[in-house]
Chain A
Amino acid sequence: MITQDSIQELAQRWGLWLSKRLQRAIGRLRARYMLRGAIIGRGVCATGRIKISNQGTLYIGRKVTFLGGMIPTQIIIHRGARLDIGDETLFNYGASIEVWNELTIGRRCMIASMVRIADGPGQTASVVRLGDNVWIAHGATIGPSAIIGEGSTLAAGSVLDRDVPPQTLAIGDPARFVGLNLLAGLSGRSSTTTATSPTGAVLSKESFQ
């Protein structure tokens, strides 16, 4: 059954899809230009400005995305330093990364807006390493030395200066840790969530307490 509404809806959906593809294509070109000093993989996309000052080495994996917004993303790599960014990692606007020694970001990480990651001021022997699937929420600060295990989450506005085990939620200033498996058990008891969507409003409320 073809009605005017269905045609309109289809057109809208295809229009949206097209515009997204176009944005992505422009973003790829933009990334090629802005990250020209770096060693970058295929499909790196930048839909916003990136302020970059690279005096060391910068490796960027495949399909890394830098989203645009109010404030440009900032990357500073000092002399002799090295920054590794894994595949499919996502950066939101206003993230600021400063490297003196060595900073590694894993695959499929999500780094939200206004996050600050710096491996210490000056040439100390500090290393920051984020595992795979790490989610850093808005306004968090990491440094000067921290190793974050895979699948961990750093809650909004928290300040982290120590290592985090895998599958852990770190909250607060200074950060304290809660196991994500423990949290999932709690939310399962409140019977508001399903297996496919393990987090609900209840869980998120508890987690940010």
Chain B
Amino acid sequence: MLEHKLPNYHDNEPDAQTARDVRGSTRGDLLRTHMPSVVSIFRGMDNPAAPLASVLRRFNTRFKTWRCDQIGFGVEVLGSIWVHGGGTIRIGNNVRLDGRIAPIELHSARHALLELGDEVCIYGGTSIEAVESIQIGCRSVLRPFVKIIDNNFHPLRGDRNHRPPPARVLIEDDVIIGDHAIILPGARVESGARIGARSVISHRVPHGARVSGNPPRIDRIAQ
């Protein structure tokens, strides 16, 4: 294990530091010592095609999220995602959408807003459907097969095709939502809360609380 060496771009230039000391640091020298040459890319790395792969991945992400209105830096999309609807979808920096086990659905109806904050991580089978507004804060994690809706779509009695008014959903920073959990219209999950698997939330969940079950109960509140 100790012999294992991490890939290093500067592996083939052991005397770079000394060379710079002797010659003095001109701009050209700095460039030469800090820019990996073509040879060093291929010699020091496990996967010689890694730079190409990263570029391809970036293109792939771009291609899969072309329907979104705003995308941050370093967004990574694995597997397939299904983006549809005429509304606004914003994705923050370093968001990871992992749709490998099942596709991820991002639906934003006309005039609606769907916002994912920085470093949000969403796993496969998750479906987010915005009719008015759904906002997910930074560093939140949505485990597989979560459903988030801000509209019930059908009334309980009377004409089933009539659509009831929506209620906004807000999920704040650092929230973890368990597998198969359902977030219903009007829910507000405050920062640091953790929601257990298969629970159904339609109300405010206080800061740092742990909630589980259906109907949901608060297991622990923030210290």
Once the chains bind, are A199 and B103 in contact (CB under 8 Å)?
no
Once the chains bind, are A114 and B145 in contact (CB under 8 Å)?
yes
Indicate which residue in B102, B152, B157 contacts A198 across the interface (CB closer than 8 Å). B157
Binary interface encoding of chain A residues 190-203 relative to chain B, with 1 for a CB under 8 A from any of its CBs, else 0: 00000011111101
User: Which residue of A has the minimal Cβ distance to B155?
Assistant: A199
User: Please, which residues of chain B bring their CB within 8 A of the CB of A155?
Assistant: 200
How far apart are the CA atoms of A5 and B196 in the complex, in Å?
50
Once the chains bind, are B214 and A199 in contact (CB under 8 Å)?
no
- Provide the main secondary structure of the chain B interface: loop
Say how far B147's CB is from chain A's closest CB, in angstroms: 5
Binary interface encoding of chain A residues 136-173 relative to chain B, with 1 for a CB under 8 A from any of its CBs, else 0: 00110000000000010101111100000001010111
Q: Is A81 an interface residue (CB 8 A)?
A: no
Can you report 20 A-B residue pairs in the complex whose CB atoms are below 8 A from each other?
A: A69-B82, A70-B125, A71-B103, A113-B147, A153-B156, A155-B200, A157-B181, A157-B200, A157-B214, A172-B215, A173-B214, A180-B156, A197-B155, A197-B159, A199-B164, A201-B165, A201-B166, A205-B203, A208-B202, A209-B203
Chain A contacts to B: CB under 8 angstroms: 69-71, 108, 110, 113-114, 133, 135, 138-139, 151, 153, 155-159, 167, 169, 171-173, 180, 183-184, 196-201, 203-205, 207-209
Say how far B188's CB is from chain A's closest CB, in angstroms: 12
Once the chains bind, are B200 and A71 in contact (CB under 8 Å)?
no
**Residue with the greatest number of chain B CB neighbours at <10 A, chosen from A180, A204, A207, A209:** A204
User: Please, which residues of chain A bring their CB within 8 A of the CB of B159?
Assistant: 196-197
User: Please, which residues of chain B bring their CB within 8 A of the CB of A71?
Assistant: 102-103, 125
User: Please, which residues of chain A bring their CB within 8 A of the CB of B67?
Assistant: none
Indicate which residue in A139, A171, A173, A209 contacts B213 across the interface (CB closer than 8 Å). A173
Once the chains bind, are B186 and A201 in contact (CB under 8 Å)?
yes
How far apart are the CA atoms of A209 and B187 in the complex, in Å?
11
